[in-house]
């Protein structure tokens, strides 16, 4: 059983079902509205614990009742939430997700309490970081906190996985220096390197650019096509499972969380781990919502 630490966001998602995305200045009626748990960090942590990892989570929420059902979900899945703390100044993060009839989404994020995660919070979690096999983080929380967590991890032989989302153009060199693996989607990869992803050759060029930044292993996810990988010794492409998508929310988070539970520390089974992660993601997109759509290991049969 892998020991996975996740540092990241907790959001309450408001999901708006629409026929199509509105044009500027246009008013459209919604088909549906629902509320569910979300946040990239929480999604990835839930995906990890549901795939059997011993999972701990560093996050921050507000005092309002909106966060209570999030904590109940974490507890129900058996997650270590010792380091999910409450902000004194901000409410729980919020996401407003528009999902069209083809299952594609557009998302607006209010950071809220997620932006209150500090270096002091990271130090409070230091013992659990040191005890992990790997730590996963994203950019929905302050970058200085991610840097500090990855520094502690690197100093203690803990593998670091960065999901650079939402993408930032100039990732601090200080963070890249302590990142073992990076997992962007095609849009995020282009923002980071300036190289547009159009085919496997361009994915390879992206990976080579990221290698020069100090990254050891690169995985680029490309939605319903699958995912590309590059390590110092091999490259390849793992195709997606063909399904009818209802809602792609949390697909990438499910992939990363599931991957973190299966990947050997030396990356020797990277294609098998990515196939498992692709399968988990393909299950998630067949249900509306984020965390409620994330599958358990028993449902992910290869």
Structural domain contains residue 298: no
Residues in the chain: 302
pTM comes to 0.92
For residue 287, what are the domain limits? 3-20+32-293
The mean pLDDT of 95-123, rounded to a whole number, is 91
| Of the candidate ranges 219-233, 262-276, 279-293, the one whose mean pLDDT is the lowest | 279-293
Structural domain contains residue 26: no
**253 labelled catalytic:** yes
Structural domain contains residue 300: no
Which parts are annotated binding residues for K(+)?
A: 247, 249, 284, 287, 289, 293
Total tally of structural domains belonging to the chain: 1
Distance CA 236, CA 274 (A): 11
Which parts are annotated binding residues?
A: 11-13, 39-43, 140, 185, 221-226, 247, 249, 252-253, 278, 284, 287, 289, 293
Phi, psi for 292 (deg, rounded to 5):
-65, -20
Closest CA relative to residue 179, chosen from 220, 137, 221, 145: 137
Structural domain contains residue 233: yes
From 77, 133, 253, 266, the catalytic residue = 253
Structural domain contains residue 60: yes
Over residues 2-22, the pLDDT tens digits come to 999 999 999 988 889 999 999
Q: Residue 246 contacts by C-beta under 8 Å, 6 or more apart in sequence?
A: 103, 285, 286, 287, 288
Structural domain contains residue 302: no
CATH classification at residue 224: 3.40.1190.20
């Amino acid at each position: 059983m892998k020991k996975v630490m996740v540092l990241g966001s907790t959001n309450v998602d408001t999901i708006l079902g629409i026929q199509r995305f509105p044009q500027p200045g246009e008013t459209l009626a919604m088909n549906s509205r629902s509320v569910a748990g979300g946040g990239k960090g929480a999604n990835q942590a839930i995906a990890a614990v549901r795939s059997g990892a011993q999972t701990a989570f560093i996050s921050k929420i507000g005092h309002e009742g909106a966060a209570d059902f999030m904590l109940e979900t974490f507890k129900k899945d058996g997650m270590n939430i010792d380091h999910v703390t409450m902000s004194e100044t901000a409410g729980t993060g919020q996401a407003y997700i528009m999902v069209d009839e083809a299952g594609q989404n557009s998302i607006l994020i209010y950071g809220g309490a997620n932006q209150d995660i500090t270096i002091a919070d990271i130090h409070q979690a230091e013992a659990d970081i040191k005890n992990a096999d790997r730590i996963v983080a994203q950019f929905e929380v302050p970058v200085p906190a991610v840097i500090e967590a990855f520094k502690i991890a690197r100093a203690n032989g803990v593998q670091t996985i960065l999901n650079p989302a939402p993408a930032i153009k100039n990732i601090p060199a200080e963070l890249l220096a302590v990142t073992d693996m990076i997992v962007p989607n095609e849009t995020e990869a282009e923002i980071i390197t300036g190289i547009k992803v159009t085919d496997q050759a361009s994915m390879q060029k992206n990976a080579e650019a990221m290698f020069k930044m100090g990254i050891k292993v690169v995985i680029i996810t490309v939605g319903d096509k699958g995912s590309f990988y590059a390590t110092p010794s091999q490259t390849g492409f793992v195709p997606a499972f063909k399904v009818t998508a209802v809602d792609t929310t949390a697909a990438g988070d499910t992939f990363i969380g599931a991957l973190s539970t299966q990947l050997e520390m030396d990356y020797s089974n990277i294609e098998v781990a990515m196939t498992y992660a692709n399968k988990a993601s393909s299950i998630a997109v067949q249900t509306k919502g984020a965390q409620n759509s994330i599958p358990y290991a028993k449902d992910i049969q290869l």
